[in-house]
A = this chain, B = another copy of it.
Amino acid sequence: MHILVTGAGGFIGSHVVRTLAAQGHTVFATVRKHKMTQSQNQPPADVHFLELNLGDCAALPAAVHECCPEVTIHLAWYTKPGEYWTAPVNLDCVSATLRMARVLAEAGCRKLVVAGTCAEYDWDSGFLSEECTPLKPRTLYGACKNALREMLEFYCRETSMQFAWARLFYLYGPGENRERFVPSIILPLLHGQTARCTNGEQVRDFLHVEDVAGAIAAVATGNFTGAVNIASGQPVKIRRIVETIARILDLPDRIVFGGIQETTPEVPLLVADVRRLARGVGWTPSHTLEQGLAETVDWWRSV
């Protein structure tokens, strides 16, 4: 299958590209200029890298026509830790995606898969289900993703392009930005420092990035259409993740719980309903949290 992946230089995108290539698909991977070199370092077979800024109106149609994708997985977005929740550039990401959707539909792309977010849901609900949880974002980022989904659902109905919306929850694994949660615990410990975190009582839903990539690939290459949570369905306290990392590194005394305040909106519980992922997409994760964190620690040791 010819598959176009945007944001292929990113945390999730790089794993999605590898997963699809390993499955034997021909992958066209768009990467921004400054990420081009690092992405091409170890290019898997049958991956064709395209240097493209999706905000570049003029370059987009040519790039799409070059690869003629049957399926497109759109992951490119502004993701700077902390800032992406409120950054005005979220609006530009919406515009770029709308423009790309039109180009893809006109080029005969059969299916479009776009990354959504658990931040579309009403977080007061705690258990976040595609079936019944109200969509009520609290942030500009969540509002832009939610608005984009609504528009693309209606737009794709007017075209022959199928549409799937992969709502991402919390994730971790090799290649994550150093400023995000799991690296913010692993790296200080690896460097002989103490790791500071919140009190850790909040319950979240974490999935290893390779599982995230596997789920997205399953959505993209299968028959599923509509919105689906990409998550583990396993509630886990932040404290347990931190303690697991400390145990793997045998440094239980180097953690300062309550040493920092959460920056994102604080709610006690966020867990995904994964029944649609399991039954509709037919996909279940392969990593346990303990195994995934151990692999992630090993990866950070190696870089």
Q: Which residues of A contact B (CB under 8 A)?
A: 57, 86, 88, 90-92, 94-95, 98-99, 101-102, 105, 137, 139-140, 143-144, 146-148, 150-151, 153-155, 157-159
Q: How far is the CA of A86 from the CA of B158 in the complex (A)?
A: 7
Note all chain B residues with C-beta closer than 8 A to A147: 146-148, 150-151
B98 pairs with A92, CB closer than 8 A: yes
Assembled-state Cα–Cα distance A90/B154 (Å): 11
Cα distance, A155 to B141, chains bound together (Å): 9
**CB-CB nearest in chain B for A135:** B150
Q: CA A137 – CA B94 in complex, angstroms?
A: 19
Q: What are some 26 contacts across the A-B interface (CB < 8 A)?
A: A86-B158, A88-B102, A88-B105, A88-B158, A90-B151, A90-B155, A91-B99, A91-B101, A91-B102, A92-B99, A94-B95, A94-B98, A95-B98, A95-B99, A137-B154, A139-B154, A140-B151, A140-B157, A140-B158, A143-B150, A143-B151, A143-B154, A144-B151, A146-B147, A146-B150, A147-B148
Whole-angstrom distance between the alpha carbons of A101 and B157 in the complex? 28
Given contacts A57-B57, A94-B98, contact A88 B140 (CB under 8 A): no
> B143 near A153 (CB under 8 angstroms)?
yes
Residues of B within 8 A of A57 (CB): 57
Among A99, A155, A159, max chain B CB count under 10 A is at A155
Contact partners of A154 in chain B: CB under 8 A: 137, 139-140, 143-144
A91→B151 contact, CB < 8 A: yes
Residues of chain B within 8 A of A148, CB atoms compared: 147
> Could you say which residues of chain B place their CB within 8 Å of the CB of A159?
88
Of all chain B residues, which has the CB nearest A106?
B88
Complex Cα distance A159/B92, Å?
16
**Distance in Å from the Cβ of A93 to the closest Cβ of chain B?**
10
**Bound-state Cα–Cα, A151 to B91, Å:** 8
Chain B residues closer than 8 Å to A88, beta-carbon distance: 102, 105, 155, 158-159
CB distance from A54 to the nearest CB of B (A): 12
* Chain B proximity of A116: nearest CB distance (Å): 13
Among A99, A143, A146, A157, the one with the most B-chain Cβ atoms within 10 Å of its Cβ is A143
**Chain B residue at minimal CB-CB distance from A96:** B95
Per the bound structure, the CA–CA distance linking A92 and B155 in Å amounts to 12
Q: Which residues of chain B come closer than 8 Å to A102, judged between CB atoms?
A: 88, 91-92
Q: A90-B155, A137-B154, A147-B147 are in contact. List 20 more A-B contacts (CB 8 A).
A: A86-B158, A88-B158, A91-B98, A91-B99, A91-B151, A91-B155, A92-B98, A92-B99, A94-B94, A95-B98, A137-B150, A139-B154, A140-B158, A143-B150, A143-B151, A143-B153, A143-B154, A144-B151, A147-B150, A147-B151
